Structure 1
Amino acid sequence: MSTQKTGTALVTGATAGLGAAYAEELAARGHDLLLVARDQARLESSAAGLAQRFGVEVSALSADLATPKGMRSVEDRLAADSSIDMLVNNAGSALFGPLSAADPDRLEWLVTFNLTSVTRLAAAAAKAFAGRGSGTIVNVSSALALNILPVGAVYSGTKAYVIAFTQALAQEFAGSGVRVQVVVPGALETAIWDGSGIELDQLPKEAVMAPHDAARAALAGLDAGELVTIPSLPEYARWEEYEKARQGLIPGLSLTRPAERYAR
């Protein structure tokens, strides 16, 4: 049981997978918790179990973050509850398959869940935390933001957005006391694969990480001050090289004339 008390961490998608692992790891660190997910019964069961095991206060908020009503209910809580000093924007889903054969309504649902809800909750947290000069926003992306698959156009697009969005947010809050992090896990052993178009047993075992290992690594990265944490990347210098190369493109991205190779 933790002996150090901290503020309240709001974790979305908190009853399963990475969200449940985050909730447990944060409770062990002494954080009170506000768990957000759709299933009220599972929320209450998770809340009771964590409170008993770790001696922290745990509350539950049932919300479907793929709907405006669900998003607003969490936004309102972020605005009203000054005890919340951390948002873990974890909730999301996956759909894989050829874009030409996709159901547009399902794609819209995925974009709303993975992108719109992340944006709106981060904006609500940003407003609350900026007023206090403290707080932490963690947005969960995916390695498929970088490892593009032909069947993952929309999923990869939403997760690439999360990285760029968080990098911009970090610039906005530089020196303010508000911490920002984006976590970029690879394949995790969770139910996100069920019915997604790619099943977990199709993936090589050596490419799949346990959610608790990913959550611990992500929190260690946060402790170390990393803006971008990739739990399985053996050498962080590889990400730094990638970022340096991206930054090197910037001087040529906006000029008065086209490049010579396009001259006619």
Structure 2
Amino acid sequence: MSKPHLEEDVLVVNIVNPTAGLLAGDRVRYDVAVETGARVLLTAPSASRAHRIVEGDARVAQEFGVANGGWLESWPEMFIPQAGARYRQQTTLRVAEGGEALLIEMIAPGRTASGEVFAFAELDWETTVFLGEVKIARERYVLTPESATLAAMRAQFAEAYYASCFVVSPHLRADAECWGRIHDLHGDETWVGCSALTRGGWAIRVVAAGSIALRKTVAAVRGEIYAALGKRAPGLRRN
């Protein structure tokens, strides 16, 4: 961990990978517990990368727990799967009744400046969200360059960038005005969709034509959510 600081009464913690990226056989695990009254933002100062892997894979497991009265935001930098990368990520978010969480992830199609666009070998991405003892969301996709899912995205944006967002809070109403403003972010360079989960949470998806459009839209979505919750969004100080 590096550069923790308080911002808007939130402890902002940067998590730094000490290597140049994830390689074959790497195993990384995060276990994060946010107690009652604690407010934490987990982020990173730079993009994370998975390198070419001929045999095996690299894996990251994330376990986030938020107690009643706690607040957790996880918004790392962009994930960049390089050509030939084999990567698996498993994320479990457990939010107690009365807790709040915002989970944001952004994925690049590759090192686009080097001409690597969807050249990874395989991405296996899994996210499960619990509110109390009830599972309210489960998302898993296994992507290869030939996947039908990627074909659909590339039909709209040749270098499609993707973001996934889950928000859980007892204070965010289904009729909140923020949902209309988030839907209005949908446009020619950015596709945006949001929907309610089975209870107490919402899922938001963004597909964009480039990294700038994705970052701008995700920042706008985050700002709308914070405003709807009556909170001030802490800065990330990534530079």
Max Rg structure: 1
The structure where strand makes up a greater share of residues is 2
The structure where helix makes up a greater share of residues is 1
Please state which band the TM-score falls in when normalised by the shorter chain: 0.3 to 0.5
TM-score scaled to structure 2, two decimals? 0.35
